[in-house]
Structure formats: C-alpha cells, structure tokens
Amino acid sequence: MKHRIVVLGAGYAGANAAGRLAKRLHPADTEITLVNADAEFVERVRMHQLATGQDLKPRALTEVFAGTGVQVKTARVTAVDAERKTVRIADADGPAEIAYDTLVYALGSTVTDHGVPGVAEHAHHIAGKQAALRLRATLAELAAGATVLVVGGGLTGIEAVTEIAEARPDLAVSLAARGGLGDWLSEKAQSHLRKAFDRLGITVHDHTDVAAVEPTGALTTDGRTIPAQVTVWTTGFAVHPIAAATTLRVSDAGQIVVDDTMRSVSHPDVYAVGDAALAPGANGTPLRMSCASGVPTAHLAADAITARLTGRELPQNKIGYSAQCISLGRHDAVVQWVTPDDQPKPAAVTGKTAARLKELICKTAAWSVAHPTMMLPTRRLRAVPAEARLTTAA
C-alpha cells in the first residue's frame, strides 16, 4: 500500500509542504492529499491590499498542483483524531473522513479579540480573504471625511493603516497602538515610519489600550473615546482550536508543540508547520507567526518526512530571520534587518527601494507556491512497511 500523507491547509506553509513532498517522494510509493477550505491559494500577506480595492491574481489550487500528483480536496477540516489517525472534513457532499499515515497540520491562524468586548460585533479584520472583502465593501461605502481606526501597532496594523490612508486620502485615518509607533525597530526605521505617517496624514494614538469597541469607535482604558465609523482590529493572531481538541500536546495558545524537525513531541506521525506550530528556530527561540516562519518550517518538515521515509540523514534546523518587511502603501516601505532571533540591527532600507524589495519578497513567496516541485530530486521509499519506516528512521 502507498504511504498516505495528508496536509491540512494550503497557505504558504501547507502548500509549500505538499509541493516539496510531491517532488521529494516518488508517486509510486506515496499518496499526498491537500485539504483546504478555499479552492484558491490566498496571499495572506496582501490582505491589506485586497481590503483597499486592489485585485489579486487568482491561483486555483488544482492548477497549482496539476501534474504533481497532489490530490487537492476543497473541504473544511472539522476534527482530527490523532489516535485513530483520521481527519474529519465537510465539503459540498457533506461530512467525510480521511485516513493518514503521516499528517502535516498547517491550518494556520485567525484573528484574536483578546477578550475585548465589542470586537466580534463591531470591528473588521484582515486575517483572511472573506474578512478582507467585507472590509473592502465597507470602505467603498464611506463618504469623504469618514473616520477609520486601526487598532494594533504591529506589522499588520501598520501595513493596514498606511494602505487605507494611501488608497483613501479623503478619509480621517488613525492608529491606536499599545506601545510607541514601531518602537521595536531601529532608530532609522522608526524615523522613516513617523515621516510616512505624517505624509499620509495618519493620526497616531500611541501607548493606548483599547478596552471596548462600539459602533461609533473605541473606548480606551484611560477613559477616552476614539471616534470611528469603521474599526479594524489587528492586535494579533490565534490558532484554530482544532489541535487543542485532540490528544496532541499543545501550548497554552493551542499551537502543536514540535521538535527541531517540526514533528509533534507527542505523536510521531504528525508534523505541524507555520502558525499552527510552537516551533523552535535555529537558536531555540520560538518562531513568530509569519510567512517568514511558515515557508522554512514547511521545507524542514517535508525534508524530515522524506528523510525518515527513505532512510536518509535528517535535516538540521537552521531557521532564522534576516529581515522584517513593512509596506507603507504601494510606493514606500521599511525593510528592517534583524538578527536570526529577530532582534533589530541598526541598518534598514527605506523608501522606494524598500518597497521594491518587499514586493520582490512577496512575489517570491507566491512563486514558491505556484511552482511547488521545481529543482528537487525524487527519492524512493525504503522497501519496508510504512509503520516500520516511521519508527526505525526516527
């Protein structure tokens, strides 16, 4: 029988993992199924662009994986049984179950409200395509002079607020950040960020905690009201609760705890990649939720699975960061150089050069998904039963 590999989620991490496995492992030995709720690959790093009226290139997953041997199944994952090694799904035909020998869990993350009242009822977010399209429709209906508040001063918040301000200079746009504006960046990057905000006319409410969101704006913990006809919530991400409902070992945040090869520490036939994993980088520091973490963890997991199934040497975990890229509209950006453990260096690239570099990085990430089987050798499985391969190679 063929070794059954099931990949859950086709974001940057899941799509890269499926494609790399398809090229690494011979189709005569393996059967790879990729399960995703959306029929298309979603460039999540461009959701702020989609929300402001820009159209993104569609990439149907069936076309992306045509000829690779990967079976694409459009369905929503409803549960994972790590003991029976099955996945429950729901698609257009109703509920079904898929069995696996090896599972790659890449269901990613969604927005979190941190328990703040009113977020779910009154705030938009851009953690996914449908949410970004809802915000797009709402922004399109706003008249000149309307107020928009983005809550959250991280990478997503900065990209969202600058994109909105550039696309709609007729709106009164503001940002509420718990800390100072870009205060984790180098002095050079912070200075450029402040200049960009001034140029775009964005009002900054720094060192501000939002206690509640209402239809007409946000209430702060110090008793102030920030008026807003539209509030956009970008204060961080939370993983989907499916893993936490299983017998897999998960963190307090619900991420699957994995070792240096992205393999579950509790279930050796399960791997987790991207936002869904509590994964160590090369120096042992947990990786942050990001595309910059998702792609290398996917590659590492695919190579580790290949090594264990084919009896080869396991790859080393050398995942580390090199930069944080922040777009400030379509023609401006900051590329902050960082240490492998994500600490800022004094150097940064800014302006149009940084914007071109950021765009190149985004296109490269999408290209890696659209060309999932380029330039990799195919390897045959060892002639032993699948269970034995997974056990003895470990």
pLDDT tens, position by position, 11-66? 999 999 999 999 999 999 999 999 999 999 999 999 999 999 999 988 999 999 99
| Close Cβ partners of 77 (under 8 Å, ≥ 6 residues apart) | 8, 9, 35, 37, 87, 88, 89, 107, 242
pLDDT above 70 for 384:
no
Statement to judge: residues 193 and 81 lie in one domain: no
> In degrees to the nearest 10, what's the CA dihedral of 124, 162, 320, 101?
30
Q: Answer whether 124's CB lies under 8 Å from 233's CB.
A: yes
pLDDT above 60 for 90:
yes
pLDDT at 387: 45
Statement to judge: residues 179 and 253 lie in one domain: no
The structural domain count of the chain equals 2
Of all residues in the chain, what percent carry a pLDDT higher than 70?
A: 93
Q: What pTM was estimated for this model as a whole?
A: 0.91
Q: Which domain holds residue 243?
A: 3-110+237-320+381-392
Statement to judge: residues 43 and 10 lie in one domain: yes
Q: What is the DSSP letter of 250?
A: B
| Close Cβ partners of 75 (under 8 Å, ≥ 6 residues apart) | 35, 36, 37, 89, 90, 91, 96
Boundary (domain end) residue, out of 233, 253, 275 = 233
Which residue intervals of 95-220 are DSSP H helices?
119-122, 129-140, 155-167, 187-200
CA gap 234, 161 in Å, rounded: 10
pLDDT at 393: 30
CATH assignment at residue 214: 3.50.50.60
Statement to judge: residues 274 and 226 lie in one domain: no
Statement to judge: residues 286 and 172 lie in one domain: no
How is residue 340 written in tokens?
């492998």
> Bridge-partner residues for 277, per DSSP?
256
pLDDT at 246: 97
CA gap 276, 241 in Å, rounded: 10
CA gap 241, 357 in Å, rounded: 35
Boundary (domain end) residue, out of 233, 257, 290 = 233
In a domain, 81, yes or no: yes
pLDDT at 373: 56
* DSSP track, 80-106: EETTTTEEEEEETTEEEEEE-SEEEE-
Statement to judge: residues 270 and 386 lie in one domain: yes
| Close Cβ partners of 271 (under 8 Å, ≥ 6 residues apart) | 17, 102, 103, 104, 105, 258, 261, 262, 263, 264, 301, 304, 305
Statement to judge: residues 66 and 10 lie in one domain: yes
How are the residues of the chain apportioned to helix, strand and coil, as percentages rounded to the nearest 5?
30, 30, 40
Statement to judge: residues 120 and 215 lie in one domain: yes
pLDDT digit string, tens, across residues 168-185: 999 999 999 999 999 999
In a domain, 253, yes or no: yes
